[in-house]
Amino acid sequence: MKLAVLTSGGDSAGMNAVVRAVVKAGILKGCETWIVREGYEGLVRGNTDAETPSSPLLSTTLDVKINDPTFIQNLRFGDGALLRDGTGDHPSGRTLKGRYIVRVGWDDVRGWFAEGGTLIGTARSQAFRTPEGRLNAAYNLIKEGIDALVVCGGDGSLTGADIFRAEWPSLVQTLRSQDRITDEQVSRHGHLRIVGLVGSIDNDMSMTDLTIGAPTALHRICEAIDNIHSTATSHSRAFVLEVMGRHCGWLSLMGGISSGADFIFIPESPPKADPWEDAMCEIISKHREIGKRKTIVIVAEGAHDVNLKPIRAEYVKDVLTDRLGLDTRVTTLGHIQRGGRPCAWDRILPTLQGVNAVDALLEATPDSPSYMIGIQENRVRRVPLVEAVKMTKAVAEAIKVQDFEKAMSLRDPEFRE
């Protein structure tokens, strides 16, 4: 099997660990391994330059299967230094310019565990949203002989993966009718094996308890609140923190619990009291009365009231200043939440899921569904990609029509108010 992995949508910690796990597991199971740079955009663009790397840049000390020549070739085949340099030239004279689909080996992904973001690049690709773009993407995969794809991204990326797989047979037929591929390629590529891994800091995907990158983002938020604590307590200040999460309040809720916040606003469960300003002020006043010297309020970026009017951090600050006379500051954590080294769990989870993804691809048949690899109740699980995408959309829809109970129960069937 020729296997490619790409990262798509917003970057998240742990994406490099996914690439590492998929490449290493793929090699150990006898696959040829490739990466696609810049997400779906790289698939659409493909390789304009016919050159593929032909000699190892790096040596390896790995001694398993040492007598298997195919294994050794797969192991050593690499452009890892080029990947680290992004699109730039390399002192060796080799370049990745014009090449988005690159064959990689064991050494290329060595040490990728601890790196933040995604070293193979990610993008939001308008072209892939169009049928012509997806036709080019199919052509570029077939041209390189790749027959299996791992996509790591958020719900949008996995929706794209689902559409791509459903369209695949007709894309292949169209390419044949345009004489861009041969009959032999049609018979070899009649079926695209595809697996999704959820890389998203928001933890906003249904049918998995945790997404790759969410634990690290939560750590960053905790650290930020800890840092704010000291100044808040010293000056007896209030801080309103805006945290990422357009449709999902997981980061805000967990960040609030782990830092003892006074009040938390999340999209799925807007404050029931009307007006909520009175309820918030009453609670915070009580906390102050019993001796709390600092106030922390967390606002998810997608928070709103029961009438779907957005609740903004600046407005919350004005309420606390005007009604309670608190010296209040707003801190927007922004991209600090995304960045930096993955925490341990964002190395373990992608590794377990990456290995499972390779197994799922090897076991795939034309009749089996495409899977999303998630984690449920502490076990790595495969769920049909199409179901997970459908359920995630249903949650967003329920929030839109203010059916918050349905949204919560879709996300967690055991949810009780």
Nearest of 48, 47, 38 to residue 127 by alpha carbon: 38
Residue 286 Cβ, how far from ligand ATP at the closest point, in Å? 37
Burial of 313 (0-12, 13-18, 19+ CB in 10 A): buried
Interface with ligand ATP: number of residues (CB under 6 A):
17
Question: Shortest Cβ distance from residue 130 to ligand ATP (Å)?
Answer: 8
Segment contacting ligand ATP by CB under 6 A, of 97-105, 137-145, 159-167, 236-244: 159-167
Work out how close the CB of 133 gets to ligand ATP at its nearest, in angstroms, rounded to a whole number: 8
125 in a labelled binding site: yes
> Which region among 154-162, 345-353, 382-390, 395-403 touches ligand ATP (by CB under 6 A)?
154-162
The rounded distance, in Å, linking the Cα atoms of 385 and 149 is 13
Concatenating the DSSP letter of every residue in 187-202 gives HHTSS-EEEEEEB-TT
Residues 404 and 400: their CA atoms lie apart, in Å, by: 9
8 binding ligand ATP? (CB under 6 A):
yes
Segment 185 to 204, residues that bind ligand ATP, using CB under 6 A: 200
Q: Which is nearer to ligand ATP, 266 or 297 (CB)?
A: 266
Q: Is residue 10 at the binding interface for ligand ATP, with CB under 6 A as the rule?
A: yes
Closest CA to 270 of 392, 398, 396, 404: 404
Taking the least distance from each CB to ligand ATP, the nearer of 306 and 394 is 394
Closest CA to 246 of 23, 403, 399: 399
Alpha-carbon separation of residue 280 from 122, 229, 318 (angstroms): 40, 20, 13
**In the numeric block, which tokens belong to residue 395?**
């949650």
The residue assigned the tokens 């049609």 is: 186
Rounded Cα distance between 233 and 230, Å, is: 5
The verdict on 129 binding ligand ATP (CB under 6 A) reads: yes
Q: How far apart are CA 312 and CA 303, in angstroms?
A: 8
- Active-site residue, 202 included: yes
Check binding of 9 to ligand ATP (CB under 6 A). Answer: yes
Decide if residue 154 touches ligand ATP (CB under 6 A).
yes
Give buried/exposed letters for 212-230 (b at 16+ CB in 10 A, else e).
bbbbbbbbbbeebbeebee
Q: Which of 79, 202, 204, 346 is catalytic?
A: 202
Cα torsion 44, 350, 266, 284: sign: negative
CB of 253 to ligand ATP, least distance (A): 18
- With binding defined as CB under 6 A, does residue 155 bind ligand ATP? yes
Q: How many Å apart are CA 271 and CA 309, to the nearest integer?
A: 12
117 binds ligand ATP per the rule CB under 6 A: no
| Residue 153 binds to ligand ATP (criterion: CB under 6 A) | yes
Which residue in the shown chain puts its C-beta closest to ligand ATP?
156
Shortest distance in whole angstroms from residue 200 CB to ligand ATP: 4
Encoded tokens for 11: 């970057």
Tell me if 338 is assigned to a ligand binding site: yes
Shortest distance in whole angstroms from residue 166 CB to ligand ATP: 11
Where does residue 237 fall: left (phi above 0), alpha (psi -120 to 50 degrees), or beta otherwise?
beta
Among 33, 157, 259, 351, binds ligand ATP (CB under 6 A): 157
By CB under 6 A, which span of 108-116, 155-163, 368-376, 404-412 interacts with ligand ATP?
155-163
Q: Which is nearer to ligand ATP, 203 or 356 (CB)?
A: 203
- Residue selected from 5, 6, 40, 263 as contacting ligand ATP according to rule CB under 6 A: 40
Contacts of 68 (CB under 8 A, 6+ apart): none
Annotated binding site for substrate: 200-202, 237, 244-246, 301, 329, 335-338
Please report, as ranges, the residues that interact with ligand ATP according to CB under 6 A.
8-10, 40, 124-125, 128-129, 153-157, 159-160, 163, 200
Annotated binding site: 10, 124-125, 154-157, 200-202, 237, 244-246, 301, 329, 335-338
Residues identified as active-site: 202
